[in-house]
Chain A
Amino acid sequence: EAEVAQSPRYKITEKSQAVAFWCDPISGHATLYWYRQILGQGPELLVQFQDESVVDDSQLPKDRFSAERLKGVDSTLKIQPAELGDSAMYLCASSEGARPTDTQYFGPGTRLTVL
């Protein structure tokens, strides 16, 4: 069964450093999502791509976060500089399309700890 791949699984960094997370969606899925999940809470959408285009980044802190999906396949989420409050699980998900009925499939996540 096809899965969403993410790396690294765990990342520890010091504040003010730069970090990057990678996601490879299920083959053929046009829509890719990055979520942030704080411990004890549900995931919150950071950015959504349709192919290589951003369709929603309204909740992305653009002063420090950036995301790209250059060829419309895999994606990178970057934080520079990292802050203590960025400690969270970062989840990537993909779906066939962006219809509200499309199921989103999640990767295993990257657990970020900022010291």
Chain B
Amino acid sequence: AQSVAQPEDQVNVAEGNPLTVKCTYSVSGNPYLFWYVQYPNRGLQFLLKYITGDNLVKGSYGFEAEFNKSQTSFHLKKPSALVSDSALYFCAVSPPGDSWGKFQFGAGTQVVVTP
């Protein structure tokens, strides 16, 4: 069975500093990985996904993520964080094969960016 872990409940960073949100996964075969962001009382907004190819994926709002197969990780990064990036971030894995696109979400990481 597939699973995804976000080892940090909260990440604190000062505005202008680099932001990293960690995600590790466990799945049989080559995974498809997604990042979403959620603002208070809102739905999830899609940021980026890894399907195949280049290990560095660029997404919305200046975010990027690096797929590392040997470490089974897909960490989300932003070179310079903004206060407006404060939100809840979710990593999700979609296993390959005939799984009807069933996503498994991590528990989420709260990002707090201070001015």
Contact = CB atoms under 8 A, between A and B. Distances in A.
Dominant secondary structure of chain A at its interface with chain B: loop
A100 B32 contact: yes
Chain A interface size, under 10 / 10 to 19 / 20 to 34 / 35 or more: 20 to 34
A40 B109 CA distance: 9
Given A40-B108, A91-B43, A111-B41, A101 B100 contact: no
Given A100-B94, A111-B41, A105 B46 contact: yes
B107 A100 contact: no
Contacts of A71: none
Contacts, number: 72
A102 B94 CA distance: 9
A8 interface: no
Contact of A100 (B46, B95, B105): B95
Contact of A106 (B45, B96, B97, B102): B45
Interface stretch (A14-22, A41-49, A60-68, A80-88): A41-49
Interface of B: 32, 34, 36, 41-46, 49, 51, 90, 92, 94-97, 99-103, 105-108
